[in-house]
């Protein structure tokens, strides 16, 4: 029988709700107890120390926040999309203790986004916990950063097209990405959008307009056309 202290240490590394290992833990069970009870029909006030983990992961915290935001706006809400784990006391065949030697970390949104970036040939790096992804574009002989996306450590994101902030309502992705699936969809939606076939000669059009109107900021013209394409 494994040491009970190993069991208790493992509980501190797992999310109370989904049971996944955590890179960042949140001590919010007491403050979220009411919403957990309403949305998941679980009374965490009755949790037993040594049986139930004391922390929550970032993904579950954000899912509960989405649920609360919808409820505050008087929108229809249902059960939060969390597969809640049923916890059991420590025993001889304790599966929690078995994970202590070979714990598998669930793929994070950032990990999933990096896989997509590598697949489609984006430039990417990490800075202060944020993951940054770039796609270069070309207008005539000019090469510039066409699109950039920042995925923050708290699972929020922001995007720019040629230096202009993207209106998130143009994409179907939520303001926060809490799963690998959502991260993949965001990357594909944002970087997979292309100019419509009618604009295949757009570089020449931009060059002509710049010459005729004396405009030197070709990037603004390109950005405006890209955003219009997204709207349709």
8 A C-beta contact, residue 159 and residue 190:
yes
Q: Tell me how far CA of residue 100 lies from CA of 5, 85, 86, 103, 207, in angstroms.
A: 11, 17, 18, 6, 61
Dmax over CA atoms of the chain, in Å, equals 81
Q: Over 60: is that where the pLDDT of 164 sits?
A: yes
8 A C-beta contact, residue 68 and residue 29:
no
The model's pLDDT over 182-232, given as tens digits with 9 standing for 90+, comes to 899 999 889 886 644 444 444 444 445 445 444 444 444 444 444 434 433
User: What integer is the mean pLDDT of 19-30?
Assistant: 85
Q: Specify the 3-state DSSP secondary structure of 103.
A: coil
Ranges 50-54, 114-118, 148-152, 171-175: which has the least confidence: 171-175
pTM of the model: 0.49
Q: Where residue 99 falls among pLDDT bands split at 50, 70, 90? A: low
Report the 10 Å Cβ neighbour count for 151.
27
The model's pLDDT over 44-56, given as tens digits with 9 standing for 90+, comes to 999 999 899 999 9
Which range has highest mean pLDDT (3-7, 38-42, 214-218, 226-230)?
38-42
CA atoms within 13 A on the CB side of 1: 6
Cα dihedral 21/27/33/38 (nearest 10): -40
Q: Where residue 58 falls among pLDDT bands split at 50, 70, 90? A: confident
Percent share of the chain, pLDDT over 90? 27
Q: Over 70: is that where the pLDDT of 181 sits?
A: yes
8 A C-beta contact, residue 156 and residue 175:
yes
For 16-141, where are the E strands, in sequence order? 25-26, 56-57, 123-127, 130-139
User: What integer is the mean pLDDT of 68-79?
Assistant: 86
40: left (phi over 0), alpha (psi -120 to 50) or beta: alpha
Q: Which among 216, 198, 220 is positioned nearest to 137, based on CA atoms?
A: 220
Q: Between β-strands 123-127 and 142-151, what pairing exists: parallel, antiparallel or unpaired? A: unpaired
Q: Where residue 92 falls among pLDDT bands split at 50, 70, 90? A: confident
Q: What is the DSSP string of 119-135?
A: HHT-EEEEETTEEEEEE
Percent share of the chain, pLDDT over 70? 78
8 A C-beta contact, residue 85 and residue 53:
no
Burial class (CB in 10 A: 0-12, 13-18, 19+), 118: exposed
Give the Cα separation of 111 and 148 in Å (integer). 17
Give the Cα separation of 226 and 69 in Å (integer). 31
């Amino acid at each position: 029988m494994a040491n009970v202290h190993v069991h208790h240490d493992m509980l501190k590394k797992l999310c109370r709700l989904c049971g996944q290992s955590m890179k960042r833990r949140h001590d919010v069970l007491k403050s979220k107890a009411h919403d957990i009870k309403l949305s998941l029909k679980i009374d965490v006030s009755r949790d037993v120390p040594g049986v139930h983990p004391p922390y929550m992961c970032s993904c579950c915290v954000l899912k509960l926040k989405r649920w609360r935001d919808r409820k505050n706006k008087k929108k229809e809400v249902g059960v939060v999309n969390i597969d809640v784990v049923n916890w059991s006391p420590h025993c001889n065949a304790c599966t929690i203790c078995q994970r202590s030697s070979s714990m598998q970390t669930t793929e994070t949104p950032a990990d999933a986004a990096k896989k997509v970036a590598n697949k489609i040939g984006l430039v990417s790096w990490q800075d202060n916990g944020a993951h940054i992804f770039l796609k270069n574009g070309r207008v005539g002989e000019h090469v510039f950063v066409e699109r950039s996306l920042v995925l923050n450590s708290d699972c929020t994101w922001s995007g720019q097209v040629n230096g202009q902030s993207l209106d998130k309502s143009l994409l179907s992705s939520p303001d926060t990405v809490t799963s690998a699936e959502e991260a993949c969809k965001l990357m594909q939606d944002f970087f997979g959008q292309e100019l419509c076939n009618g604009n295949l000669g757009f570089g020449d059009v931009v060059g002509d307009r710049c010459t005729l109107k004396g405009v030197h900021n070709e990037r603004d013209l390109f950005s405006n056309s890209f955003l219009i394409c997204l709207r349709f």
